[in-house]
Structure 1
Amino acid sequence: MQDVASRERIAGLVLARPGRLLGMEPFMADVVQGIEEVFTGRGCSLLIEFAADITGEIEIWRRWVPNGHVDGIVLVDLRTDDPRLDEVQRLGVPAVLLGGPELKAPITNVLVDNAEGARAAIRALADLGHSDIARVSGPRDMLHCQARDDAFMETCAEQHVQGRVIEGDYSEDSGREATEQLLTGSQVPTAVVYDNDLMAIGGLAAARELGVAIPDQLSIIAWDDTAVARLATPPLSVVTVDVHGLGTIVGEAILTVIQGAEPTIYQVPQPTIRLAGSTAPRRG
């Protein structure tokens, strides 16, 4: 690989997404914007490709690294028994993992407390009188989804709330399908927490089609404070972190490891809840 000091440095990011999740979802778009803001004027750029799954992601890495296309890699959405951890070490390329959990592997880690976001959502809804709450999760092989699932069910039990989880894939369609299932079942929840804004938008559409009023009959909270969440009708209550700021931390982290720094851990502020028009006290 050419000496990185003699040319522009390049960080690579592969997004492994299902076919029906076209393009870049709003959360990741905000993260990327934050990364690119850090890179501006500092001789570094971000290379992004898409793959159908993590096998495809690894194949892209194997093309990038031996050919000198990238000087570092950003990993997202760590899975159970994720083969990417061994592969990135085998390739010998500097790497940053966004989202956690904390690793024994020598990789810089930008930790996000996913469990606390789930706890905060349930506490906020329980305080509003909701006692039957569903969660529409992302793919359960992702470790951050597992952390949210576990914290969701534990906090439901602590708050004496009936809780259940339906798996989605982060697409708007999966949010719509999961919500239709919840609203036409024998036990209809009074609130739903979605793992991202796109699935919540699908949930809003399903509720409208079924004649369920938001928030009078169903309250909704979505993960991530994005423009999509703020511009929804009604505006979505959110589990909020500074997503753009998260991207700037990732940008600084990958620049630092490309320049030869030892792996380290970055802690980001805990998520909080911002209530908006999609959430109200339980009626009746």
Structure 2
Amino acid sequence: MGASKSTITIADVAKAAGVSTSAVSYALNGKKGVSEKTRARVLEVAESMGWRPNSAAKALSDSRSRSIGVVLLLHDTEEFASGSYAMECLAGLSRVLEEVDYSITLRMTTGGAAAACRIHRDWIESGRVDAHLVLGVEFGDPRLELFREHPDVPALFLAQQQTTKGLPTLYSQDDEGARAVVRHLHELGHTHIARVAGPEQYMHTLIRDSATMDECARLGMRCDSLHGEYMRDDGARLTSMFLNFSDHATAIVYDSDSSAIGGLHAVTAQGLVVPDDISLVSWDDSAACRSAKPPLTALHRDVRSIGDKAGRLLLRMIDGETVGAVPEDPYTLVVRDSTAAPKPTD
């Protein structure tokens, strides 16, 4: 015997129709996001099951803001313009939300995680957004506790699952990416490399540090590491420091494309040639990496697809689905002209 009319839910209709709960929600509410064939199928199944909208749920649905809240943590207000990760991610998110007539409510703050937490708390209390996308999660981040206190508020973290510990998370596989870079440089013959790493308050920095050091130890390689912000100036400054070491590395790996471009400028400013004198590798593989001279070898991930995936997960959460820890697509190493075998030593 099927479920009684009073207990039939959107999830029941979705199961019977063989579609997602999001598709059922869009179809029943006359929203964009499903084909007319799917809409007709859902309506037919819902009617045959005797589904009727719960009045409270309908009122809640009608009061939705149809907006996703995002707060970007900036160390400098110009960083948003120069850092492509956030823009690419938001472009992917926007592409998904536009399909269902949702928008992004965006705030930027130079006040760190504490300021971002205050913004998210205000959104929760005011109901201004239907869900929250949380980026730039730090150790001891107050936003983690905030959303633990509000488990019914849809919130997705772009972070490492070691940090979020059970909260809905879309995470990158940084350890495998770091090992792939080390193996590539080892195959070229490098035995001494360096890392211009990101800020130490982020778990993914620790994961990259640890995986890089572990893979170097396994292959009998040496690795130096300095940490800075994801900015060109820091990339140039830390690269210059490495190049001034009496026994400097023959390859440098950067945690961001912005710092890699800064590093490339520092190398050429000292009269050195990439990759003849030193090899360079970047993460994220933005347009800046591809257009650099020479084009930079980089760990590629489709950042727009991350925003796309995040958007779809958030829409599922808004519709009441439970989301756990979900991996991003794996990194792929794109080899270009900035890496080569090291110069023979005299």
Pair 1:47-2:85 in alignment:
no
Structure 1 residue runs of 4+, over 3 Å off?
Answer: 4-8, 102-106
Amino acid at match of 2:258: L
Say which structure, 1 or 2, has more relative contact order (CA 8 Å, 6+ apart). Answer: 1
Write the letter of the residue equivalent to 2:267. Answer: A
User: Which residue matches 1:190?
Assistant: 250
Confirm or deny: 8 A CA contact 2:139 2:163 kept in the other structure.
no
Structure 2 stretches of 5 or more lacking a match?
Answer: 1-58
Cα distance change, pair 20–37 in 1 and its aligned pair in 2 (3 A):
closer
In structure 2, what is the Cα distance between the partners aligned to 1:60 and 1:233? 41
> What's the CA shift for 1:266?
1.8
Question: CA-to-partner distance for each residue in 1:71-101, whole Å, 9 max, x for gaps?
Answer: 1111123222222111123245211011322
Q: How does 1:115-264 map to 2 (within 5 A)?
A: 115-264=175-324
Displacement of 1:185: 1.5
Q: Which moved more, 1:29-38 or 1:195-204?
A: 29-38
Instruction: Spell out, residue by residue over 1:230-282, the C-alpha distance to the aligned partner (whole angstroms, 9 max, x if none).
Output: 11111111111121111111111111112211132322222121111111111
Following the alignment from structure 2 to structure 1, what is the Cα–Cα distance between the partners of residues 218 and 163?
A: 29
The count of aligned residue pairs is 283
Q: Does residue 28 of the first structure (1) align with residue 95 of the second (2)? A: no
Unaligned 5+ runs, structure 1? none
Mapped to 2, the partners of 1:233 and 1:69 lie a distance apart of: 45
Matched with 1:18 is 75
Q: CA deviation at 1:4?
A: 4.1
Contact 1:33 1:244 in 2 (8 A): yes
For 2:144, the equivalent position in structure 1 comes to: 85
Contact conserved, 1:114 with 1:147, CA < 8 A, in 2?
yes
Moved more, 77-86 or 251-260: 77-86
1:66 aligns with 2:131: no
Equivalent residues of 2:234, 2:262 under 8 A apart: yes
> Which structure dedicates a bigger proportion of its chain to helix?
2
- CA distance in structure 1 between the partners assigned to 2:85 and 2:154 by the alignment: 24
Which of residues 134, 137, 142 is equivalent to 1:75?
Answer: 134
CA distance in 2, matches of 1:158, 1:54: 36
Give aligned-pair identity as a percent.
31
Q: Distance in 1 between matches of 2:212 and 2:246?
A: 22
Cα pair distance change 1:162/1:57, threshold 3 Å: same
Aligned partner of residue 80 in structure 2, secondary structure: coil
User: Cα 1:62–1:118, aligned 2, differ >3 Å: closer, same or farther?
Assistant: same
Deviations 1:117-158 (A, max 9, x none): 110000000100111100011101100111001001111111
2:95 is the counterpart of 1:37: yes
Alignment partner of 1:163: what SS? strand
Equivalent residues of 1:225, 1:243 under 8 A apart: no
Write the distance in 1 (CA, Å) between the matches of 2:109 and 2:158: 18
TM-score when normalising by structure 1: 0.94
| 1:276 aligned counterpart, secondary structure | coil
Mapped partners of 2:228, 2:260: distance in 1: 11
Tell me, in whole angstroms, the C-alpha distance in 1 between the residues paired with 2:203 and 2:224: 18
Q: Which secondary structure does the structure 1 equivalent of 2:107 belong to?
A: strand
- Give CA-to-partner distance per residue, 1:197-235, whole Å, 9 cap, x none: 000000011011111111111111100021111111111
Q: Determine which of 89, 96, 107 is the counterpart of 2:167.
A: 107
Question: Given residue 69 of structure 1, which amino acid in structure 2 is its aligned partner?
Answer: R
Question: Structure 1: how far apart are the matches of 2:222 and 2:77?
Answer: 31
Distance of aligned partners of 1:215 and 1:93 in 2 relative to their CA distance in 1, 3 Å threshold: same
Question: Is residue 166–residue 325 contact of structure 2 (8 Å, CA) maintained in 1?
Answer: no
CA-CA distance at 1:59 after TM superposition: 1.6
Identify, as 1 or 2, the structure richer in strand: 1
Cα separation, 1, equivalents of 2:165 and 2:270? 48
Q: 1:104 to 1:78 in 2, by over 3 A?
A: closer
Task: Give the partner amino acid of 1:54.
Answer: A
Counterpart of 2:280 in 1: which secondary structure? Answer: strand
User: How far apart, CA to CA, are the structure 2 residues paired with 1:12 and 1:108?
Assistant: 15
Deviation at 1:13, TM superposition (A): 1.1
SS state at 1:65 partner: helix
Greater Cα shift, 4-13 or 181-190: 4-13
